[in-house]
Amino acid sequence: MSAPHSPTAPDWLDDACLDALIDQLAGQGYALLEHQVPASLCLALAEELATLRRQQALHAAGIGRGSEHVLRRDIRSDSIHWLDRSTQAQRDYFALMEHLREAINRALFLGLFELEAHFAHYPPGSFYKPHLDSFRGRSNRVISSVLYLNPEWPRDAGGEMVIYPSQPEFTDAPGEPLVLVRPMLGTLVCFLSETMPHEVLPTRLPRASIAGWFRRNASLNGMVDPAL
Ligand SMILES: O=C(O)CCC(=O)C(=O)O
Ligand SMILES: [Fe+2]
């Protein structure tokens, strides 16, 4: 059993930390938080992902949404499982991200509406080539986030996430990296979904994470756009 964790504990994502996140997001298009998400929660989520793998409850990730969804193992080779709030750890993750959503909306008026999130497992040798998470006018993902769940990550393990400078139009050559993020337990990275190209470099070790997207409400005629 992991130690109890409560996402409302005052020393997690406190005001100073949220202010720093918002400054980074507004100033450079991405924000990096280290050691702010409780390790006990990350370990519980990591354990859950390991169980889902054993139960063969992960499926190969594709690209594109809806009818345009296709498997492209040459572009991304991870396996995923969408979170459904069915466990306490997932509900704690959503509570923590809700805290973030409210703070971002208060400061940046982005009108973030809800979060969709999936576990991701990158087996050794897997990667995700440079991409944008959302195309302007085609999707309503506004802020991307990734929470990493790997207790050990040796320097030579690869698997870093590379973020490139903001680009209004995506090209295959996104330029010089802005930052390389090691997928260490508890590291949380956020960036603008529509303009920041990013990639996952080939990993040498199994790599665990939760990718989440804050969406803008794209409701039409009173019908709320479904998350999936
Ligand atoms: O796992 C990561 O570091 C990034 C994953 C990603 O870019 C995605 O799922 O869209
Ligand atoms: Fe992405």
pLDDT band at 68 (very low <50, low <70, confident <90, very high): confident
CB 227 within 8 A of CB 65: no
Domains of the chain: 30-62+75-212 (2.60.120.620)
Ligand 1 pocket check for 133: Cβ under 6 Å = yes
| Protein residue with its CA nearest to atom 10 in ligand 1 | 133
Predicted interface score ipTM higher than 0.85: yes
Ligand 1 pocket check for 117: Cβ under 6 Å = no
Ligand 2 centroid distance, CA of 154 (Å): 23
pLDDT in tens, 82-126: 999 999 999 999 999 999 999 999 999 888 989 999 999 999 999
- pTM, entire model: 0.91
* Least confident among 67-76, 138-147, 213-222: 213-222
pLDDT, residue 21, reads 95
pLDDT, residue 9, reads 47
CB 115 within 8 A of CB 140: no
Q: Say what percent of the chain tops pLDDT 90.
A: 71
Residue 89's SS3 state is: helix
Pocket probe mutation, ligand 1, options 116, 170, 198, max atoms within 8 Å of Cβ: 198
Ligand 1 centroid distance, CA of 218 (Å): 23
pLDDT band at 228 (very low <50, low <70, confident <90, very high): very low
pLDDT, residue 218, reads 64
Q: Say what percent of the chain tops pLDDT 70.
A: 88
Gyration radius of the chain over CA positions: 17
CB atoms within 5 A of ion ligand 2 belong to 133
pLDDT in tens, 16-63: 999 999 999 999 999 999 999 999 999 999 999 999 999 999 999 988
Burial of 149 (0-12, 13-18, 19+ CB in 10 A): buried
What single string gives the DSSP state of each residue in 92-160? HHHHHHHHHHHHHHHHH---EEEEEEEEEEE-TT--EEEE-S--TTT--EEEEEEEE-BS---GGGB--
Pocket probe mutation, ligand 1, options 77, 141, 161, 215, max atoms within 8 Å of Cβ: 161
